[in-house]
Structures are given as C-alpha cells and as structure tokens.
Amino acid sequence: MVPGMPMVAATPYLVTIAEMVCYDIAKTLIEPDQVTVGSRVVIDHLGASKVGATLAVAAMLRGRDRNRFTFVVTIKDGERTVATVEHVRAAVSAQKLMAALG
C-alpha cells in the first residue's frame, strides 16, 4: 500500500477480511430489516504474508449484548498466525442508516 514497502498483506487488508467474515456471521443473527456496521477493531498484526498467500480466517462470536456482536478472529498463513483481531459489529436499521446518509 505504500510505495517502496515490500509486497505483503497490509494491516488494512487484514482488517477488511476479518470484518467481512464477521459480517457474514452476524447477518445470520439479525432481523431482515437490519444490517451490521463495524464499530470497533483491535488488531495485533504479528507477521508478514506475501501478496498472493492463502490466508485462513477463523472467527468466533465471543458475545452478544443486545444489538452488539463481539468477535475474536485469527488469521493464519499456513501454520503461522499473522493477526489476531477483536471486532465489534452493531445491528442497525438499514432504512434509518440510509436516511441518515441522505
């Protein structure tokens, strides 16, 4: 993502794939008129992975408090853990969200 840096999976990419997996899990737990939005991400980026490496993402719902879902995510490159992520998603009304965006 930054010129001159090695071609590796950058931290924002790891956040993105963690969020997408959590989104897929959360959408099975919400009402049909809701969507989830990310509200918190804490990441420990523990190692580099070459662009093109196959990364395995494992997410587990750690808790639910009303409309908030807390996930723990592990991202691996083979046997190596390259990131651990804590991610919170909040269920909101899709209609209200779109109205707020204008």
Residue 59 bridge partners (DSSP): 73
pTM: 0.91
Sheet holding 68-77, edge to edge: 34-45, 80-93, 68-77, 55-65
Per-residue pLDDT of the chain (102 residues; tens, 9 = 90+): 678 888 899 999 999 999 999 999 999 999 999 999 999 999 999 999 998 899 999 999 999 999 999 999 999 999 999 999 999 999 999 999 999 998
| Residue 92, Cβ density class (10 Å: 0-12 exposed, 13-18 middle, ≥19 buried) | middle
pLDDT at 89: 98
* Domains of the chain by residue range: 11-101
User: Which option is the CATH number for 11-101: 3.40.50.1370, 3.30.750.24, 3.10.129.10, 3.40.50.12780?
Assistant: 3.10.129.10
Determine the Cα–Cα distance for residues 14 and 69; give it in Å rounded to an integer. 19
Contact 28, 89 (CB under 8 A): no
